[in-house]
Structure 1
Amino acid sequence: MRPMAVAGAWEILPARHSDARGTFLEWYRPDTVAAVTGQDFRPLLGGMSVSGRGVTRGIHFADVPPGQAKYVTCVRGAVYDVVVDIRPGSPTYGNWQGVRLDDTEHRAVLIGAGLGHGFCALSDDACVVYLCSETYAPTREHVVHALDPELGIDWPVTAPVLSPRDAAAPTLEEARVRGLLPAYHPAGQVG
């Protein structure tokens, strides 16, 4: 487990144990997360999405408090997963980092509450699973446009497929002006 370039996010590469029968790995351990991050991440929701090649989801985030920290991995296919610092005042505000999540390396990402998250599917039927610190609450959920030129996310697909909601999302600057973005707290908090 190592910190990402966006403060409050970590990349996880679990140890894999393989033999002739296949592979076993512990893809999530709360004691390991707590030891490395100093945060107690205990999920209240497990979710899953299945996306076709080129589908681009995000950049999603929830109101803070309570926020919604996420532990994300891809169990089938491959995605390009992106974490964006959308907290005005943060030293990494506006920065993003992408990580390939796939069913080969079984890498995961821990995304702290208050950060933005999105991904694009690199394969057909890419299956992403989430563990979330809070349940889904539509009235607290927001989105920043994944193709915002100011963010400059280098999506590795030629024609991203967006939902109507994601396509109509404001840019990061528009969301900031509207007061939608979460505040930055230097102590940080996973969820």
Structure 2
Amino acid sequence: MKINTTPISDLMVIESTPHTDLRGAFARLFCDNELAPVIGRRRIVQINHSTTSTVGTIRGLHFQHPPHAEMKLVRCLKGRVWDVAIDLRRDSPTFLNWYAQELAADNHRMMVIPEGFAHGFQTLEPDSEVFYLTTAHYMPNAEGGVRFDDPRLGVKWPLKAGCLSVKDAAHPLLDEGFHGIFL
């Protein structure tokens, strides 16, 4: 596994190298030894899997407030998605900056989204599947969200926004009073 940094501190992209032969391919999706520099003392406590049938669908932008903030390790198992992370950490030099990466079944990339970031994705192919490893349990009372089209963020989605959940469409815009998440 190769750990790649991004322009936003603590946000990383991991690349796996598949081993192929006449039978097909084998790739390691997770290894606590190889990812120890990324995960540190955290532990994976929950694994989630989403399927999205329609191209252009946006899921997100989601986060959990402390003390239930979570690190997410996100990989696309089928299809392709535009995966987006937004730095919401108070006093971060990259506060409100975003970074996106195409995750696809065939590019073997995984985004590592640290605590204090909002996360979401847009499907680029039908029937895309996303697999998440998280370091905190889902807590409904700790969930937060940011609207995908917030002008203060200026996220450049590759496709016109398609299907959104009622909850995601209702996420608030960030006002001038939002100073970030204190971890």
Interval of TM-score (by shorter of Structure 1 and Structure 2): over 0.9
Q: Quick check: 22-31 or 38-47, which moved more?
A: 38-47
- Tell me the equivalent position of 2:123: 121
Deviation at 1:41, TM superposition (A): 3.5
Q: Could you say if the C-alpha distance between residues 43 and 153 of structure 1 is closer, same or farther in structure 2, counting changes exceeding 3 Å?
A: same
Q: Could you say if the C-alpha distance between residues 58 and 131 of structure 1 is closer, same or farther in structure 2, counting changes exceeding 3 Å?
A: same
Which segments of structure 1 move beyond 4 Å, counting only runs of 4 or more? Answer: none
Corresponding residue pairs, total: 180
Deviation at 1:175, TM superposition (A): 7.4
Structural RMSD (CA): 1.6
Distance in structure 2 (CA, Å) of the matches to 1:58 and 1:75: 18
- Tell me the equivalent position of 2:153: 151
Task: Kindly indicate whether the alpha-carbon contact (under 8 Å) linking 1:77 and 1:127 is maintained by their aligned counterparts in 2.
Answer: yes
Task: Kindly indicate whether the alpha-carbon contact (under 8 Å) linking 1:74 and 1:128 is maintained by their aligned counterparts in 2.
Answer: yes
Question: Is there any run of 5+ residues in structure 1 with no aligned partner, and where?
Answer: 185-191
Q: Which amino acid aligns with 1:69?
A: M
Q: Quick check: 160-169 or 74-83, which moved more?
A: 160-169
Of 78, 91, 95, which residue of structure 2 is paired with 1:89?
91
Deviation at 1:117, TM superposition (A): 0.5
Deviation at 1:182, TM superposition (A): 1.6
Task: Kindly indicate whether the alpha-carbon contact (under 8 Å) linking 1:88 and 1:182 is maintained by their aligned counterparts in 2.
Answer: yes
Distance in structure 1 (CA, Å) of the matches to 2:55 and 2:116: 28
Distance in structure 1 (CA, Å) of the matches to 2:174 and 2:133: 25
- Tell me the equivalent position of 2:45: 44
Q: Please show how residues 56-135 of structure 1 align to structure 2 within 5 Å.
A: 56-135=58-137
Question: Is there any run of 5+ residues in structure 2 with no aligned partner, and where?
Answer: none
- The percent identity for this pair of structures is 34
Distance in structure 2 (CA, Å) of the matches to 1:142 and 1:62: 6
Task: Kindly indicate whether the alpha-carbon contact (under 8 Å) linking 2:86 and 2:96 is maintained by their aligned counterparts in 1.
Answer: yes
Distance in structure 1 (CA, Å) of the matches to 2:84 and 2:178: 19
TM-score between both structures, scaled by the size of structure 1: 0.88
Q: Which amino acid aligns with 1:11?
A: V
Deviation at 1:150, TM superposition (A): 1.6
Deviation at 1:172, TM superposition (A): 2.8
- Tell me the equivalent position of 2:6: 4
